[in-house]
Amino acid sequence: MEFKLSKEQEMMQKMAKEFADKEIAPLSQEIDKSHKFPIELAKKMGSLGLMGMMVEPALGGAGCDTVCYTIAIEEIARASAAVAIIASVNNSLVCYPLQKNATDDQKKRYLPDLASGKKLGSFGLTEPGAGTDAGSQATVAVKKDNEYILNGTKIFITNATNAETFIIFAMTDKAKGPKGISAFIVEKTFPGFSIGTVEELMGIRGSGQAELVMDNCRVPAQNLLGAEGAGFGIAMATLDSGRIGVAAQAVGIAQAALEECQRYAMEREQFGKPIGKFQAIQWMVADMATEIEAARLLVRKAAYAKDTQKRFSAEAAMAKLFASEMCMRATVKAVQIHGGYGYTKDYLVERLIRDAKITEIYEGTSEVQRMVISGGLLK
């Protein structure tokens, strides 16, 4: 068993780190303040191949492994959690389900643009009444001639404000419950499709979260993704993949918090010496670093599991559960170490703690992760 990064993983890390430090970090506070979707950055990431890293080369991606992917997301998240989730959603929640479930024709039509960043993608599962209880979809899809007519709303959809391609879940057979859910590839320009309320968020501001409104939205039948009724299974498998991205994002946010504390603790002097010379601070920093390392290993193991095993739900859930909760702990500690200054917008940690919270909620709350993990253990 090797813990060393391969040559390509090292090179990915170097490139992603440089890109994050030079292109993303200088803009991260402004993105947070303005809440404006960083479309230019998304395009830049696309041109480097960061928006469809794992898509096969024949379809415009790089075909890299999931470990490489998590390394890139972690570095991006270190600079901006919002930009990281934009990339993660595109990679894990849009490209991935297409790679796994789309027909050859659908793949050719959608993946090249998504992989190159020419078009952005979104994943539309969550509804006002369907969060953790994702199975009780209210959006319906009725087959009519060569089309499906979709009616319903989705909320909290990342990238929504700027995406062109949406994976939408809707009920095609209500009687079957979750087994009656189907997945569709919906384009922004389809009649009856519109973006609704744009959310004002606590954190990951600028990630384009908005409501999707389908009002007799007409989707061509050839845009059904997978078979009718396969939707819920597709959603769950996709979320398994997405959670690894979120876990990597959480590690990145926590790493940023740690680096801020390392700097600040040696600059800030009280009682005649840097606060980093006091044990209380030293222990907080030690705990942060240890937990970050543990989370990172869980993320990489989950990534490895996805690449080598048929089922990786448990690994992904553990990584996401631990990384997100640790990220919250770390960012809270980070604000504490910064004291009053950490409570002002002058300091990065004020944003990091706001960014951290969502990692415990989206793509399956910590409670859902615990359900998944225990579900596999107590049969």
In whole angstroms, how close is the CB of 318 to other proteins at the nearest point?
27
d(C-alpha 5, C-alpha 67), whole Å: 9
In whole angstroms, how close is the CB of 2 to other proteins at the nearest point?
15
User: From the CA atom positions of the chain, what is the Rg in Å?
Assistant: 21
Q: Using CB under 8 A as the criterion, which residues of the chain lie in contact with other proteins when the complex forms? A: 6-8, 10-12, 14-15, 18-19, 29, 47-50, 53, 57, 61-64, 68, 72, 263, 267-268, 341, 345-347
Question: 293 an active-site residue?
Answer: no
In whole angstroms, how close is the CB of 257 to other proteins at the nearest point?
16
Nearest residue (CB) to other proteins, 60 versus 364: 60
Helices 348-357 and 313-342: crossing angle in degrees, nearest 10, is: 150
Nearest residue (CB) to other proteins, 7 versus 379: 7
In whole angstroms, how close is the CB of 5 to other proteins at the nearest point?
11
d(C-alpha 84, C-alpha 223), whole Å: 28
Q: Are 52 and 91 in contact (CB under 8 A)?
A: yes
Identified catalytic residue from 260, 291, 360, 363: 363
Nearest residue (CB) to other proteins, 174 versus 263: 263
Q: What angle do CA 169, 95, 133 make, to 5 degrees?
A: 30
Helix (H, G, I), strand (E, B) or coil at 219: strand
Which residues are within 8 A (CB) of 249 and not within 5 positions of it... i.e. 6 or more apart? Answer: 73, 74, 77, 81, 84, 85, 88, 359
Nearest residue (CB) to other proteins, 98 versus 155: 98
In whole angstroms, how close is the CB of 242 to other proteins at the nearest point?
19
In whole angstroms, how close is the CB of 204 to other proteins at the nearest point?
21
Nearest residue (CB) to other proteins, 284 versus 348: 348
The upper half-sphere exposure of residue 48, i.e. CA atoms within 13 Å in the direction of its Cβ, equals 15
d(C-alpha 78, C-alpha 186), whole Å: 32
Nearest residue (CB) to other proteins, 64 versus 253: 64
In whole angstroms, how close is the CB of 262 to other proteins at the nearest point?
13
Label residue 110 exposed, middle or buried (CB < 10 Å: 0-12, 13-18, 19+).
buried
Where does the chain have alpha helices with state H? 7-19, 25-34, 39-48, 66-79, 81-88, 96-101, 104-116, 231-267, 279-308, 313-342, 348-357, 366-377
Nearest residue (CB) to other proteins, 12 versus 316: 12
Which residue, among 130, 39, 147, 146, has the nearest Cα to 83 in the 3D structure? Answer: 39
Where does 80-212 have alpha helices with state H? 81-88, 96-101, 104-116
- Residues classed as catalytic: 363
